[in-house]
Structure 1
């Protein structure tokens, strides 16, 4: 199994969560490709941790649909599952709509400015064809509303299902269709600033709905 060249990536204080995030991110960004076998020893060496947090991380990733395990035989990176991605898109869109409804009544000018700043970074990343930066900025944009909602259950659901979409989002943000999200973000900001809960919710639904055509495309 090829792994990134860095060693000792994970701090000792947050072994379990950091191991999960490191492996998850490597799957999402394509470093660990669909169908690739994951060897515990290689992961231990890469992350600089013991087998226990690695195995716990792989169990969480299996629940999230990012790896598949045959006990006693192998663990592989899951192929992109279109049905699972459709389900994840529906759940993720609903959670972001809920975040808008719960956050908007008390959304501050500083939070609106944070959304504008994130969208500016998003647009710049798209112009530079920097897909990882675009995804990070998109996360920052929607994350303002998620944080402002102060709903831990909502955050937990997004933590589980959002990564399933990330491999698809990499494709979307590297295409012309990804540029549409900049204008959609601007509309969400304007509706939030106007205090239009129904309008901002509908605009958020439309923004996350741009993934649906990609889900209908044939896989390679």
Structure 2
């Protein structure tokens, strides 16, 4: 699919970050497909920015494993690489487990309610087959303990590896199997509320393990 034809998507503030997020999201949601060549001029026109923030965004995306660059030749969207995504899944799962472990002693009633609200939105989105809304709700659910643990190192690692994994999560929430996440989230909330650190971290690990069958099946078919 070619670069979208809309113009001036990115505001004049935070050009670097917004450019990165816009291109990243287009890769994650499939607008920019694996193997597609990314032309600086097309991206500049689409985003309404200069070449500098575009090039900086592409450099960050290369570090995140979402694009591949051949100096002086071309930049393309990275293919879905099973090995890279497996690695991202292991790291991401470990970070979320650690976030839950560190957050539980400090989780407030309001934060637990925020997790419940996010899980309700996830259930509603799955019933409507709204993949984008489901991913956003899932992000918000897991984001509560990440924020509550106040560990910047965890946030930094997740920021790097989550975008690679997000391409697979779209497959999970596009299937009926994704609906099992709602019940798993309910269990995580209950264990967090009970202060069961080991139980909550194990439940979090099980939740992130639901991506493994997709790696074993769907990605091997691409």
TM-score by length of 1: 0.98
**1:34 — aligned with what?**
34
* CA distance in 2: counterparts of 1:2 and 1:204, whole angstroms: 38
**2:206 — aligned with what?**
206
Per-residue CA deviation, residues 43-99 of structure 1 (Å, 9 max, x unaligned), is: 001111110110010011001100001111110000000000000000000000010
* CA distance in 2: counterparts of 1:219 and 1:15, whole angstroms: 37
**1:81 — aligned with what?**
81
**2:9 — aligned with what?**
9
Superposed CA RMSD in Å reads 0.9
**1:154 — aligned with what?**
154
Aligned with 2:3: secondary structure?
coil
| Structure 1 residue 139 corresponds to structure 2 residue 116 | no
Pairwise CA distance, 1:219 = 2.2
**1:165 — aligned with what?**
165
**1:94 — aligned with what?**
94
**2:187 — aligned with what?**
187
* CA distance in 2: counterparts of 1:65 and 1:74, whole angstroms: 15
**2:221 — aligned with what?**
219
Per-residue CA deviation, residues 84-127 of structure 1 (Å, 9 max, x unaligned), is: 00000000000000100111101000000000000000011011
For structure 2, the 5+ residue unaligned runs are: none
* CA distance in 1: counterparts of 2:92 and 2:169, whole angstroms: 13
**2:122 — aligned with what?**
122
Aligned structure 1 segments of 4 or more residues deviating by more than 3 angstroms: none
Aligned with 1:129: secondary structure?
coil
* CA distance in 1: counterparts of 2:153 and 2:14, whole angstroms: 21
- State how many pairs are aligned: 220
Per-residue CA deviation, residues 155-198 of structure 1 (Å, 9 max, x unaligned), is: 11101100101111111111111111000000000000101111
* CA distance in 2: counterparts of 1:47 and 1:147, whole angstroms: 30
TM-score by length of 2: 0.97
Pairwise CA distance, 1:6 = 2.2
* CA distance in 2: counterparts of 1:12 and 1:99, whole angstroms: 34
For structure 1, the 5+ residue unaligned runs are: none
